[in-house]
A = this chain, B = another copy of it.
Amino acid sequence: MTVSPHALDVAVALTPVGEHQFTGHTHPAYGNMVGPFGGTIAATLLNGVLSHPERLGDPVSLTVHYAAPITDGAFEVHARPMRTNRSTQHWLVELRQSGGVAAFATSLTALRRDTWSATDAVFPQVTPADQLPRTTSLFRTAWPMAYDMRFADGEQPLGSVERDDALTRVWIRDEPPRPLDFLSLSAICDAFFPRIFVRRPRIVPAGTVTLTIYFHADAALLSAQGSAHVLGCARGLRYSQGFHDQTAEVWSPRGELLAVGHQVVYFKE
Contact = CB atoms under 8 A, between A and B. Distances in A.
A80 B231 CA distance: 39
B104 A82 contact: yes
A262 B262 contact: yes
Contact of A106 (B65, B119, B166, B195): B65
Interface residues of A, number: 62
A71 to B, nearest CB: 15
Given A83-B68, A108-B264, A268-B115, A216 B240 contact: yes
Interface stretch (A12-20, A132-140, A170-178, A242-250): A242-250
A117 B267 CA distance: 11
B242 A257 contact: no
A55 B182 CA distance: 35
Interface in A179-207: 195, 199-200
Given A237-B120, A260-B245, A60 B113 contact: no
A218 interface: yes
A101 B83 contact: yes
A214 B200 CA distance: 22
A239 interface: yes
27 contacts: A61-B209, A61-B264, A63-B210, A82-B101, A83-B100, A83-B101, A88-B266, A90-B104, A92-B104, A106-B210, A112-B241, A112-B242, A114-B241, A115-B239, A115-B240, A115-B241, A115-B268, A116-B239, A116-B269, A117-B239, A118-B199, A120-B237, A121-B238, A212-B212, A214-B237, A237-B260, A245-B260
A31 interface: no
A210 B65 CA distance: 15
A165 interface: yes
B200 A240 contact: no
A221 to B, nearest CB: 9
Of A83, A116, A235, most B-chain CB atoms within 10 Å: A116
Interface string A37-58: 0000000000000000000000
